[in-house]
Amino acid sequence: MKEDYLRFEKMYLSPYAVFSDETAGRAKEETPCPMRTEFQRDRDRIIHSKAFRRLKHKTQVFIAPQGDHYRTRMTHTIEVMQIARTIARCLKLNEDLTEAIAWGHDLGHTPFGHIGERVLAGVSGGFEHNLQSVRVVTLLENDGAGLNLTAEVIDGIREHRGSGTPSTSEGAIIQIADRVAYLNHDIDDAIRAGILTEDSLPAAATDILGHGKRERINNMVYDVVTSSLDRAKVTQSPEFRRATETLRKYMFENVYLNETAIREEARAKEWLTKLYEFYLDHPECVAPLYMRLADSVRGAAVDYMASMTDTYAIEEMKKHLGYDWYSEREIK
């Protein structure tokens, strides 16, 4: 039962871990579960949420890809969770807290990936998917009641971007695991799309990180573990941090901002902006939940569009604007 696991944590976990019975708690106090710790409850609430299920049809890199094996925001989340939990176990940190943050970190992501995020940031005067993820779990999910997660999970979700400052070691794991996951699976997807090859990756990065997805992930995880064991800060070694940044720069230049991606981004930006403007003129077409919870039509339109999957956004553009996304596809 739960009491046995709580005793196990005190005997086994690192002093740098967050112990489950020492959580700062929830915004609304609840009766404890007799079987699960508070972080285990948070994990389960996120996995059973509608926002989590929508991740399966949200872009990772390639917009609404028609191939079966391209990553989506959900498969990305699963890979982040696996990498993060491995690190947490090796460092004797709280795996349940780590897992809960991983499952929830991208719930606020827009359709069309970071393109959608930039569009909503431009039209609204400020939008960040990590903050939208917090808005999802604290308000939008569960018909406006939110998920009432613990403070530590909300902090990890909010601070998971590279510029964030998580208050827990478990939150810091997600920052690194997110980057390890997306760089390696985006390389894999770009190879599948014919945009690059394994041999085209910069030797300054691969000679250190490894050759091939499996080797790179293993080496990057091992580096985090050996650099962070019995230390208060979860981090990469300086050598691996430099190599990771070299690889990240290469990916921006050759994948995220390559010619095909730029063409798709220009069209996505134009069409999403027009869809947003349509909702401002036709607020009756915005889902009632978002109209009820937002302070303005603009806020409701942003919440509604951020919640959309790629497929739903494409349907809405076709329905309201007469645009057919698939008629001009280049990536199959």
pLDDT in tens, 209-226: 999 999 999 999 999 999
pLDDT of residue 329: 47
Q: In the chain, which residues have pLDDT < 70?
A: 63-67, 260-261, 328-332
C-alpha 281/C-alpha 65 separation (Å) is: 31
Residues 6+ apart with CB under 8 A from 53: none
pLDDT of residue 59: 85
Facing residues of 72 across strands? 59
C-alpha 16/C-alpha 92 separation (Å) is: 9
pLDDT of residue 331: 39
Domain-by-domain residue ranges, the chain? 2-24+36-114+129-262
Among 37, 33, 31, which residue's Cα sits nearest to residue 5?
A: 37
pLDDT of residue 256: 83
Which homologous superfamily is 2-24+36-114+129-262 in?
A: Hypothetical protein af1432 (1.10.3210.10)
Beta strands, E only, 91-240:
none
- Extract the tokens encoding 20: 């489950």
What are the tens digits of pLDDT across the range 245-267? 999 999 999 988 777 667 778 88
